[in-house]
């Protein structure tokens, strides 16, 4: 059948997710594999969130609250902003898709660091718009290069802070200057998926730009530090006039009832969050030491993952590690043919990864 599918859809490369544990165990016939590929919480979900899910399940015959009312108010209180500045989504991926739907038409341009989170590019291209990638400079987002490349067709700019996959940070000083110089008709998205892990006091917060006079959107997620990746819930922080536009294109019930209940409980479970962040910070230090001893290069990271450079093809290392029951991410599709990205796991998982890596390098 001859369908009229636009070229920009036909040329899309589908997103490749981290390999699921059960898939590896099925394919290789092994048990007890370790997944360090998708930057998930090594401690699992918050116990309080699990309890909230059990309670909320009683009402699954009802539609969820369309605007995630209770959750929105919890967040607003905790962040000291207004509910009208928050839009909830089915993961922050949902927000990224809404942003493109609101802003991008065929022929428009969106500027982003290269490499960065691969879903940005998919969403930009699905709207018929053109992704304009600006290479990193010394593993850091090249904000000046991004500014230079903005033109009359630019509608949207993405940065992620900390940056995925390098873990590098944009400082507040640098971001302040960038927002100041940003043309007022261009929307800046600051994806803060890993912000909870950052220790560096120079790190900016997207909330500080809510009243900057520019349209700045912060993206946050419950998928990483809060341990709820499987539930799919994230949110955007933005000026009220812009939130109103996102609500127009949002699916009416985009955040399911279990996710809303679990997220409220997760926000209240500060102990779990602190435990998670402490574990990641401690284990990150352990990883640095171990990699130094092996004389393996890596980028220092403000997030819960590490970009590691090897003197071998990453795709081969990825396969070798799989055979040893360790799932990491090859960065070849990100333009780093000799790098892997590994999430920081529990201590025994990191030890297992290092031992497996030692055997293949
Ligand atoms: C993991 C991640 C997300 C989170 O996506 P969700 O849809 O909320 O699970 C967003 N942005 C970046 C850069 C990420 O690494």
Percent of the chain clearing pLDDT 70 (strictly above): 100
* 167 within ligand 1 shell (Cβ under 6 A): no
Distance 224 CA to ligand 1 centre (A): 8
Tell whether pTM > 0.85: yes
Q: For the segment 17-58, what is each residue's pLDDT rounded down to a tens digit? A: 888 888 888 888 888 899 999 999 999 999 999 999 999 999
Regarding the beta carbon of 349 and ligand 1, being less than 6 Å apart is answered no
Check if 234 has its Cβ closer than 6 Å to any atom of ligand 1.
Answer: yes
Query: How would residue 159 be classed by pLDDT, with cut points 50, 70 and 90?
Result: very high
How much is the pLDDT for 298?
97
CA dihedral 268, 271, 277, 282 (to 10 degrees): 180
Q: pLDDT tens-digit profile of 74-129?
A: 999 999 999 999 999 999 999 999 999 999 999 999 999 999 999 999 999 999 99
Express as a percent the part of the chain with pLDDT over 90.
93
Would you tell me how many other CB atoms lie within 10 Å of the CB of residue 239? 18
Q: What domains does the chain contain, in order, with CATH numbers? A: 17-39+271-360 (3.90.1150.10), 47-268 (3.40.640.10)
What value does the mean pLDDT take over residues 243-256? Answer: 97
Instruction: State the DSSP code for 140.
Output: B
Between the CA of 18 and the centroid of ligand 1 the distance, in Å, is 12
pLDDT in tens, 306-353: 999 999 999 999 999 999 999 999 999 999 999 999 999 999 999 999
């Amino acid at each position: 059948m001859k369908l009229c599918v636009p070229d920009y859809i036909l040329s899309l490369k589908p997103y490749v997710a981290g390999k699921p544990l059960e898939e590896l165990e099925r394919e290789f016939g092994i048990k007890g594999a370790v997944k360090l590929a998708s930057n998930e919480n090594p401690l699992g979900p918050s116990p309080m969130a699990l309890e909230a899910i059990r309670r909320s399940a009683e009402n699954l015959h009802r539609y969820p609250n369309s605007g995630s009312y209770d959750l929105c108010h919890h967040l607003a209180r905790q962040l000291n902003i207004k509910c009208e500045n928050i839009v909830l989504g089915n993961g922050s991926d949902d927000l990224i898709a809404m942003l493109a739907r609101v802003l991008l038409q065929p022929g428009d341009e969106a500027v982003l660091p290269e490499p960065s989170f691969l879903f940005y590019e998919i969403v930009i291209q699905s709207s018929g718009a053109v992704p304009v990638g600006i290479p990193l400079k010394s593993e850091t987002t090249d904000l000046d290069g991004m500014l230079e490349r903005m033109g009359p067709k630019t509608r949207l700019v993405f940065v992620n802070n900390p940056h995925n996959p390098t873990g590098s940070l944009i400082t507040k000083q640098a971001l302040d200057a960038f927002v100041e110089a940003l043309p007022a008709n261009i929307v800046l998205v600051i994806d803060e998926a890993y912000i909870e892990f950052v220790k560096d006091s120079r790190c900016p917060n997207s909330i500080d730009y809510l009243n900057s006079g520019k349209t700045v959107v912060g993206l946050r997620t419950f998928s990483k530090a809060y341990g709820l990746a499987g539930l799919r819930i994230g949110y955007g922080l933005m000026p009220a006039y812009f939130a109103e536009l996102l609500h127009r294109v949002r699916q009416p019930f985009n955040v399911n009832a279990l996710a809303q209940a679990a997220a409220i409980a997760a926000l209240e479970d500060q102990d779990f969050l602190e435990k998670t962040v402490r574990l990641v910070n401690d284990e990150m230090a352990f990883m640095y030491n171990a990699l130094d001893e092996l004389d393996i290069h890596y980028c220092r990271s403000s997030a819960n993952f590490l970009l590691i450079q090897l003197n071998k093809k990453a795709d081969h290392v990825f396969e070798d590690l799989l055979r040893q029951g360790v799932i990491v991410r090859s960065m070849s599709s990100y333009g780093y043919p000799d790098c892997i990205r590994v999430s920081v796991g529990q201590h025994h998982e990191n030890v297992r990864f290092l031992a497996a890596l030692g055997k293949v390098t």
